[in-house]
Structures are given as structure tokens and as C-alpha cells.
Amino acid sequence: MTNSSKSTLSRGITALVFLALVFVPVIGSRAMVQDLFMVLTLLVLALNWNMLAGFAGLVSVGQQAFVGIGAYAMFGGVILWGWDPLPAILLGGVAAMFLSLPIAFFTFRLNGAYFAIGTWVSAEIVRLSVAQWKALGGGTGTSLPKGTTKDMFGVPQIKDLLGVSSSAAADALTYWLALGLAVVTLLAGYVFLRSRMGLGLQAIRDNVEAARSVGVDPLRLKALVFVLSAFGTGLCGALLFIQITRVSPDAAFSVVDWTAFVIFITVIGGIGTLPGPVVGVLVFYILQRVLADYGTVYLIVLGLIGIVIMLFARKGLWGMFTEKTGIELLPLRHKSLQRSER
């Protein structure tokens, strides 16, 4: 089978998987819908972090700042201004985007490990500041008003269409939003990286001085990616906490849940590749299901797997799979380069 045939087959399988995911709320249990919702939101977070670290060379350990501010902005829109949660999701994305500007202003003066520490410290400052927001519960947090998710735009229509309860209809709606956000994030990343700016971004990652010598502005491109990734992460944070329905500073700004796990997913799947986070989130979900009952052993196993992957499969599971099979999904190389390699 030629590489072209393999790619066509893999695209067909991908399309079938997508269709199956669309119909999960129709044919699957509510528990399955909730589980896959978490998988999809983690995938969105991983895709955004991968764009930063894998393509822009910005290893951030403070992405929880954008998850948290997105969640709190959404809660503020609902509780303080009476918005429906769905438009309040956009408010969460915009709030995260604006927050990224001062964070970028300070952290972009740092490099390497100092940048990573700077983003983490920035996230902690935001967490401590939000904990003073008394209108949203201060340090203990708050919950969405009773019945808010059941009255969201679209929930009554889904309830009638599927013949389910309002709670199940709300789960289906947030699941479809998460699926749509994951697909849009993946495809938008592909289109961007195939563009002239995306090519410049990858050149910066490989050699900053060489990229600058051909007219690429590293600071401008990295800042653009940082702001756009913050927007996507903020949207995801707002969507996550619509499903959770309760927010607190510790939960919304959790470095383990929204950054450490995301880094693990990206690294084992294949950092610097678009399908890598997809593979990584599937492995993470399987490990979570199998090892969740073993307490701290679960975290130890995750750490050991991450170390093994970094030592023996630097390109991650997807990179290793591509090398063995020749199958490439969403290739980022330009046609002229692909032809010259043949």
C-alpha cells in the first residue's frame, strides 16, 4: 500500500470516528458523554499548549491562569450580569486573551526555564487575586444558580429531540460544544501552521537567528500564538466549569489538572505534531480508567511512562507510529519540500 493510500484510509477512518463521536449522546450512556466531555476538553487544552511549546518554543507552566480566568469570567457573566452560560463562554475566552497581554509583557523578557517559572508565578498571582473576589465566593468559590444549565439556550430543544431529562440534554449540549471546539482548534492549528506565518513560527522554533535573518519577527509571532492560545484555553475553561457547575480558586487554577496532565498528554502523544495530543489524550484516558483505583500509584505510573517516552521515543507515540508506518495525518511539510525528498 502506498503512502497516499495509507493517508486516504486514515482520513476515512478519522471521518468515521468523528461521526461516531457526534452520535454518542444519542446512542451512549450519560456517563459516557460526561467521560468523553472531559477527554475532549483536555484535548483542547493539550492542542493549545502544544502550539505554544511544540511550535513556538514557549514552555508555559501557567496555562491554569487562562483556564481559571475563563471559568471565573463565565461565572461572573452568569451570576453578576444574568447572562446565559453559552455567550458567557465567549466572555471567558476574551478575558483570558486580555489577561495574556500583561503576562506576556513580563514573561517574554525571560527565556527557557525562567519563562516557565514566570508563567507559573503569574498564574499564582492571578489565583490569589481572584480569591479576593467576594462577589464570587472569595477563597471558597461559588456555584451556578440552581437550574442554570437546564435553562441554557438549546437545552429544551435537545431534551425534546432526544427524549431525555434536562440534565442529560445539558450534558449533550456541552459535549457537542467540546467536540466542536476540539475539531476547530485542531483544524485552525493545521491551517495556521501551513500558512506563511506558521512556517515562520516553525523556523523560529528551529533557529531563531536564521528565522530573523529572512525577515521573520520572533517576538511578534510568539506573542500572537500566546494570545490566541490563551483565548482557546479560556474558552475551554469556561466550558469545563459549566459542566462542573462550581468554581473555586484551587479548582479553577489547579496546576496539576490543567497544566501537568496537559503536558503529560502532549509529551507522550508527540510534542510538535498535531495528531500527537489526540493520541496522548486517548492513552491518558485509558490509563486513568485502569489505574484510577490505585491512588498515588496512578500518578507514579503516569510519571514513569512519561520518562520512558522521553528517553526512548523523543517524538512521542505518534512520531514513532509515523516512522514505522509512513502514515501522516495533517502533514505540515509543504509540497515542494515533500517532492524534493522523493
Question: What is the residue-averaged pLDDT of the chain?
Answer: 90
pTM of the model: 0.92
| Contact status, residue 92 vs residue 237, Cβ threshold 8 Å | yes
First-residue to last-residue Cα distance in the chain:
17
pLDDT at 135 > cutoff 50: yes
| Contact status, residue 277 vs residue 50, Cβ threshold 8 Å | yes
pLDDT of residue 6: 60
- pLDDT tens digit sequence for 25-65: 999 899 999 999 999 999 999 999 999 999 998 999 999 99
pLDDT at 4 > cutoff 80: no
Q: What does the pLDDT average to over 254-262? A: 94
Q: What does the pLDDT average to over 197-219? A: 84
pLDDT of residue 167: 93
pLDDT of residue 342: 45
Residues of the chain above pLDDT 90, percent: 68
- Total residue count of the chain as it appears in this document: 342
